[in-house]
Amino acid sequence: MAEGMDFAQKIAEDKAIRGNMDKIGRKILIMSGKGGVGKTTVTVNLANALVDSGCTVGILDTDLHGPNVAKKCSVVKRKFSLPKMVGKRSIRSKPGQG
């Protein structure tokens, strides 16, 4: 529980998070008990393949030691913003585009 947050606030926060997570149709978890095995690479490549096939994709990087998804998606040193939408498909930069 977050410091200074009472039990009722924590319950309300958990309920709000659950409500938002329930709006996501499918969730894919990429994990390993070992570091340096390519989890971020697999995640970014899978996300790109799904977007190319017409899916809407979001990535939540929970790496506590140094999230690298931003580097793999070329958003380092750029202000992050929501993608531009054209019809129902988003336009995003591919790795290497800036």
pLDDT band at 74 (very low <50, low <70, confident <90, very high): confident
Report how far residue 46's alpha carbon sits from residue 53's, in angstroms, rounded to the nearest whole number: 11
What pLDDT score does 27 carry?
A: 92
What pLDDT score does 29 carry?
A: 92
User: pLDDT, tens digit, for every residue of 19-37?
Assistant: 988 999 999 999 988 888 8
Q: Residue 21 is encoded by which pair of tokens?
A: 């997570």
Q: Is the pLDDT assigned to residue 76 strictly greater than 80?
A: no
**pTM here?**
0.61
35 contacts: CB under 8 Å, gap ≥ 6: 65
